[in-house]
Amino acid sequence: MYDLNGKSVLIVGGSSGIGLATALAAAAEGARVTIASRSAEKLAAAKAQDPALDTATLDSTDDAAVEAVFAGGKVWDHIFVTSTAPKSGGAKTLATADAMAGMDGKFWSGYRIARFAKIAPDGSLTLTSGVRSQRPNASGMLQSAINSAVEGLGRGLSVELAPVRVNVISPGIIETPLFGAMPAPDREAMFERMRKELPVRRLGQPEDVALAVISLMKNPYISGTTIVVDGGALMALTI
């Protein structure tokens, strides 16, 4: 309790951004950490940052692959699911297939892992949503719907999987490779606006979210809730 030393931690989406920062933080606390994602190259690059990390290639949208990864029956102490982000776009612009792929990636990945993983009774499962669940915008309509569904999934699973604790982490804008596909000038303009307008007057870093996820793993009295890590964005008009 209150301690990750010697605990087994699986981070699905652990080769980059928020997942990697959480993996490094858990490992620094003495946990035995496995990071899983699709790309062997990204996993190898992440492992180079901490050779103690174990790696597993996994596509969390692949039902059979997720079942196979957990087929050995290993009991994990803590699992954090932070893989996949839906495409942006409104209902009038985004193809239905793309919108459905977004739901498949973000909502159903969490469902699949909850379905097949074995977690210790004093352990935890943490899913990832995002502040668009509470603050939609015209191009983030889908994020609003999917993140709301993830938060509902977390609440429901906290009852079904009890005493395993289940929570959701909801990040605001965090500087990660997720924004790598944006044209650099647009990305920098958005980041600069965040630095000026967020109540905390700084841009969120993956380590800021990792700190909260580690707390959700360790605190035995938090379950069925969503923790927002957004630099006060929901209090401002900036996002």
Ligand X SMILES: NC(=O)c1ccc[n+]([C@@H]2O[C@H](COP(=O)([O-])OP(=O)(O)OC[C@H]3O[C@@H](n4cnc5c(N)ncnc54)[C@H](OP(=O)(O)O)[C@@H]3O)[C@@H](O)[C@H]2O)c1
User: Contact residues for ligand X (CB under 6 A)?
Assistant: 12-19, 37-39, 42, 58-61, 82-85, 105-106, 128, 130, 171, 173-174, 176-178
User: 31 vs 142, which CB is nearer to ligand X?
Assistant: 142
User: 39 vs 93, which CB is nearer to ligand X?
Assistant: 39
- CB of residue 70 to ligand X, shortest distance in Å: 14
User: 18 vs 161, which CB is nearer to ligand X?
Assistant: 18
CB-neighbour burial class of residue 49 (10 A; exposed 0-12, middle 13-18, buried 19+): exposed
User: 5 vs 173, which CB is nearer to ligand X?
Assistant: 173
- CB of residue 182 to ligand X, shortest distance in Å: 11
Residue nearest to ligand X according to CB distances in the complex? 17
- CB of residue 119 to ligand X, shortest distance in Å: 18
- CB of residue 176 to ligand X, shortest distance in Å: 3
* Distance, CA of 25 to CA of 41 (rounded, Å): 21
- CB of residue 122 to ligand X, shortest distance in Å: 26
Strands 8-12 and 75-81: parallel
User: 8 vs 16, which CB is nearer to ligand X?
Assistant: 16
